Structure 1
Amino acid sequence: MSALQNEECVPCHGGVPPLKPSEIEGLLPEVPGWSLAADPSHIVRRWTLPDFQTALDFVLDVGEVAEDAGHHPDISFGWGYVEVSLHTHAIKGLQRADFVLAAKIDALPAAQLENAA
């Protein structure tokens, strides 16, 4: 698990620059499985899960963690999959908080189901 999961997710309200590409590349190894999206202002991860109910339960868990952090991802899901996209809306880019939330999501029990399958 990443040490990032123990950090507070500090919401960004704008007025700061997005992370530089070198900073992003330095943080990506801390959240294995996450990658830059086609739009490099986002990081994304997709999980393959056993069924719809497991995917839905995972989405609800992600939502709870995100709400507690005050940082809200874009989530898509369906039968057997969940995809989460993170970026900081206020700056239209990535900040450390995106990686902190990614690590917190990775620590959820359902995030480990894919590895056990």
Structure 2
Amino acid sequence: MTPQAPSTQDLAARTCEPCRGGIPPMDRAMAASYLVQVPGWVLKEDPDRIERDFRFPDFAQAQAFASQVGTLCEAEGHHAEIRYGWGHCTVAFWTHKIRGLHENDFVMAAKVNGLADAPYVPAAVGTEPPPYVQEG
């Protein structure tokens, strides 16, 4: 019997467990079972990783989101590959020590989804911009 992934709420509520290496990465079948719990993320190869592209109406909001993701990653001790530019921010997770996917990657994806679903309010402006436009 193949183990099932926890629900999205369960994933987002977890904290990343330190990965010391020396364990095999998650196989693609298990990764696919976790993937359904993190809407918008896709499974990529070389290395096996999960990735999501977020869309924004301008550069400032994409940059602010990238910064929020970076702050979250630092707090959790599990770091993303973050690329952003005008109107987009792409976030990717994989566990470098095992050169593949670990449950921590999906925990972080769920937490990043939570950031994207939260309203963004620029510090210098008292009004809320349009919600994040998400591709995926």
**TM-score if structure 2 supplies the norm length?**
0.79
Separation in 1, partners of 2:28, 2:82: 24
Residue 13 of structure 1, CA deviation: 2.0
**Partner letter of residue 110 of structure 2?**
A
Percent identical: 40
Residue 107 of structure 1, CA deviation: 0.2
Where does 1:85-104 land on structure 2 (aligned, <5 Å)?
Answer: 85-104=92-111
**Partner letter of residue 133 of structure 2?**
E
Separation in 2, partners of 1:110, 1:60: 15
Q: Which moved more, 1:14-23 or 1:77-86?
A: 14-23
Separation in 2, partners of 1:110, 1:97: 25
The answer to whether structure 1 residue 22 and structure 2 residue 41 are counterparts is no
Residue 110 of structure 1, CA deviation: 5.8
Gaps of 5+ in 1: none
> What is the DSSP-based 3-state SS (H/G/I as helix, E as strand, rest coil) of the residue aligned with 2:78?
coil
**TM-score if structure 1 supplies the norm length?**
0.91
Gaps of 5+ in 2: 1-6, 121-130
Q: Which of structures 1 and 2 has the larger relative contact order (alpha carbons within 8 angstroms, sep 6+)?
A: 1
> How many residue pairs end up in the alignment?
115
> What is the DSSP-based 3-state SS (H/G/I as helix, E as strand, rest coil) of the residue aligned with 2:52?
strand
**Partner letter of residue 51 of structure 1?**
D
Q: Rg larger in 1 or in 2?
A: 2
Cα–Cα, structure 1 residues 102 and 68, in superposed 2: closer, same or farther, change >3 Å? same
